[in-house]
Amino acid sequence: MKLPIFPLPVFLLPQGITRLRIFEQRYLKMVKLAIKEHGFAILSTVSGEHKGVENWASWVDIINFDQDKHGVLTIDVKCKSIVSVSELSEDKYKLKYADIVPQNHWPEERYDDVTNRLSQSLLKIFEENNLLSDLYQSGFNDNANWIMSRWVELLPITLEEKMIFAQQNSYPMAKQFIANIVLVEK
């Protein structure tokens, strides 16, 4: 399947939601295509450069749209899958396209004591942050994979460091990494 590609320094795992501001003509075109077709893919990039770009992206659907106080289109997108990306091309408007193939991310993981403690910490962040409450209107999900994915997205680490956790079997490493940061003994 061929989809429009939005290169951004954004990291989004399955079921993750983010808000984007759309103002360039080519990306307004992308939104129109995404609504009519099958969404678009966010290709994680560093400072807008394509040098060293990973061969995966976050396939997203638009779940909400509005205009901000300056008349700029804002859209909320939700990741439905990690996808492999190939055959990158560009149209005359400089909108990028790629062939995508959905990939499995993490197998369903068990909820345990560590996950419970990480869930409680994450829930507190969600309760204290209005933007997260706005984005995740369907509520907080108490699923092990969902919890680890949101932590990876929210942690203030570099995009390059986050890329490791897009790999299919990286859940145990993500869980250990997050626990080492969040569950530091006092």
Q: What is the pLDDT of residue 90?
A: 95
Q: Are residues 87 and 17 part of one domain?
A: yes
Taking only the tens place, the pLDDT of each residue in 46-63 is 654 444 456 899 999 999
- What gap in Å lies between CA 78 and CA 95, rounded to an integer? 21
Q: Are residues 137 and 90 part of one domain?
A: no
Q: Are residues 28 and 80 part of one domain?
A: yes
Residues in the chain: 186
Q: What is the pLDDT of residue 47?
A: 55
Q: What is the pLDDT of residue 137?
A: 85
Q: Are residues 98 and 126 part of one domain?
A: no
Mark which of 69, 103, 137 sits at the end of a domain.
103
Worst-scoring range by mean pLDDT, 33-42, 77-86, 121-130, 134-143?
Answer: 134-143
Q: Report how many helices (DSSP H) and strands (DSSP E) the chain contains, helices first.
A: 6, 6
Average pLDDT over residues 153-167: 94
Does position 186 have pLDDT exceeding 50, yes or no? Answer: no
Average pLDDT over residues 148-159: 96
Q: Are residues 139 and 76 part of one domain?
A: no
Mark which of 70, 103, 136 sits at the end of a domain.
103
More confident residue, 68 or 7: 7
| Per-residue DSSP letter, 155 | S
Q: Are residues 120 and 95 part of one domain?
A: no
The DSSP bridge pattern shows strands 17-22 and 2-8 to be unpaired
Full residue range of the structural domain in which residue 125 is found? 113-182
**Residue 55 is assigned to a structural domain of this protein:** yes
Q: What is the pLDDT of residue 185?
A: 59
Mark which of 73, 103, 133 sits at the end of a domain.
103
Average pLDDT over residues 136-153: 91
- What gap in Å lies between CA 172 and CA 148, rounded to an integer? 10
* CATH number of the domain bearing residue 54: 2.30.130.40
Q: What is the pLDDT of residue 1?
A: 94
Q: Are residues 94 and 17 part of one domain?
A: yes
Q: Are residues 119 and 86 part of one domain?
A: no
How many domains does the structure of the chain reveal? 2
- What gap in Å lies between CA 63 and CA 15, rounded to an integer? 12
pTM value is: 0.91
Taking only the tens place, the pLDDT of each residue in 64-104 is 999 988 889 999 999 999 999 999 999 999 999 999 999 99
Burial class (CB in 10 A: 0-12, 13-18, 19+), 112: exposed
Q: What is the pLDDT of residue 45?
A: 84
Q: Are residues 146 and 128 part of one domain?
A: yes
Average pLDDT over residues 22-32: 95
Comparing CA positions, the residue from 133, 25, 153 lying closest to residue 79 is: 153
Q: What is the pLDDT of residue 116?
A: 95
**Residue 108 is assigned to a structural domain of this protein:** no
